[in-house]
Amino acid sequence: MFNLTPTELERYRRQIMLPGFGEESQQRLKAARVLVTGVGGLGGTAALYLAVAGIGKLILVRGGELRLDDMNRQILMTHNWVGKPRVFQAMETLRAINPDVEIEAICEYVTSENVDRLVQSVDIALDCAHNFAERDRLNAACVRWKKPMVEAAMNNMEAYLTTIVPGQTPCLSCIFPEKPEWNRRGFGVIGAVSGTLACLTALEAIKLLTGIGQPLLSQLLTMDLNQLEFAKRRPYHDPNCPVCGRVSQESERSAPKQKNPRANALTFTK
């Protein structure tokens, strides 16, 4: 199936040698298709770390053109690309870094028209969009299609991260039933802050896909990078959530209690 080529075995040798990782985890990454929405300081950097880790296919979704004030954090971009669609430059940079990864770039925002098609075509989604309208659409579609979603958000020097597995964990709507004010370009950001969150976001996806480590299931990591204070909270899983309530109740009734070490890893059908 997803056998590794000699080049891949060498390229990923240093992660394959991690205890508990091995060639099996690398094959799982190669088999995986991952959606990244909002390919900016957060999503672009997360996509970079997924590409170098050897994800089989990345689908990048982001509308709009690169602006000069994106350049303090969007590390896939080059200065000469200002004024052109970001997502195509992101694809070019990632291809140059790792030609073994298949990249699809879609210059669109997440809309009610495209979201189901996007989510259906992947194993896992990374929610790195700027606004709650796109985030809510992606969350609802991931619940509808029972696809895991890594939820990463930031505001100034604060960052938030959780991993949502529909039916098993609270969804975005459980965690934020009322939407905070979220101005697209209304908050300041240092590239190292979005990059810090992005690395953890990519790592969550890698954990979910391979089964290594412990992903942030039913836990919300909050980070205050001004004070370097990190905390984990347990968000409320609303049994009557309008988005995930029905799926959660179904899965409560039917879930077998698994104990094997790769129980959190996704399974692939091909």
Binding site for Zn ion (CB under 5 A): 171, 173-174, 241, 243-244
Min dist CB 217 to Zn ion, Å, is 14
* Rg of the chain taking only CA atoms, in angstroms: 18
Cα(90)–Cα(105) distance, rounded to whole angstroms? 8
Min dist CB 177 to Zn ion, Å, is 8
Residue recorded with tokens 């590390």: 75
Cα(200)–Cα(150) distance, rounded to whole angstroms? 10
As a dihedral over the C-alpha atoms of residue 165, residue 168, residue 174, residue 175, rounded to 10 degrees, the angle is -60
Min dist CB 118 to Zn ion, Å, is 20
Min dist CB 136 to Zn ion, Å, is 11
Cα(221)–Cα(85) distance, rounded to whole angstroms? 32
Note whether 194 and 41 are within 8 A (CB).
Answer: yes
Cα(63)–Cα(81) distance, rounded to whole angstroms? 15
Cα(95)–Cα(111) distance, rounded to whole angstroms? 26
Min dist CB 104 to Zn ion, Å, is 29
Q: Which is nearer to Zn ion, 243 or 265 (CB)?
A: 243
Min dist CB 97 to Zn ion, Å, is 36
Note whether 67 and 158 are within 8 A (CB).
Answer: no
Specify which residues 35 forms β-bridges with. Answer: 59, 125
Nearest residue (beta carbon) to Zn ion: 241
Q: Which is nearer to Zn ion, 138 or 203 (CB)?
A: 138
Q: Which is nearer to Zn ion, 126 or 171 (CB)?
A: 171
Q: Which is nearer to Zn ion, 221 or 244 (CB)?
A: 244
Structure tokens at 230: 């990190």
Q: Which is nearer to Zn ion, 213 or 235 (CB)?
A: 235
Q: Which is nearer to Zn ion, 4 or 174 (CB)?
A: 174
Cα(7)–Cα(190) distance, rounded to whole angstroms? 36
